Every structure is written in structure tokens, then in C-alpha cells.
Amino acid sequence: MRERQAEWASKGLHLLYLPPYCPELNAIEILWKQAKYFWRRFLTLAGTALRDEVAALMRGFGTDYTIAFR
């Protein structure tokens, strides 16, 4: 890959490397933050009720719940 970088750069392609830990660029981290802080109902849940709440959030992702990247 390193041997091809000069060729790619001459064609306008530049590789950008992410740091080892970068949760703000990881889509699943953004999804879990939304689910945890913005979408869920603020209830104390355990066991089956907690599982059902998470399942409902995941079913609604993309329709009832969306993420706007700004």
C-alpha cells in the first residue's frame, strides 16, 4: 500500500488515518449515544423489560429514530 501512495496522490486520492480510539467517528458509538441519552424512555428497567426496550429502539432506528450528522 505504501508503494502506491505516491501514485494515488497524483490522482487526487489521499489516505487519512484515524487514531486508535476515536468514538466520535465510530457509527455504532454514535448510535448507542443516541439510544442511551435521547431516544429511550427514562425508566428503570431490568431483565425482559430492558431487552424489549432495546429491541424497540433498534426496530425504530431509521424510521422513528434517526441521526442527523451536522
DSSP letters, 3-69, are: GGHHHHHHTT----PPPS--GGG-HHHHHHHHIIIIIS------HHHHHHHHHHHHHHBTTTB----
Delimit the domains of the chain by residue range. Answer: 19-70
- Regarding predicted confidence, which is higher, 45 or 16? 16
Among 32, 31, 1, 29, smallest CA distance to 17 is for 1
Q: What is the structure's pLDDT at 10?
A: 94
Tell me how far apart the alpha carbons of residues 5 and 13 are, in angstroms, rounded to a whole number.
Answer: 8
Residue 8: pLDDT band with limits 50, 70, 90: very high
Residue 11: pLDDT band with limits 50, 70, 90: very high
**Does 35 have pLDDT greater than 80?**
no
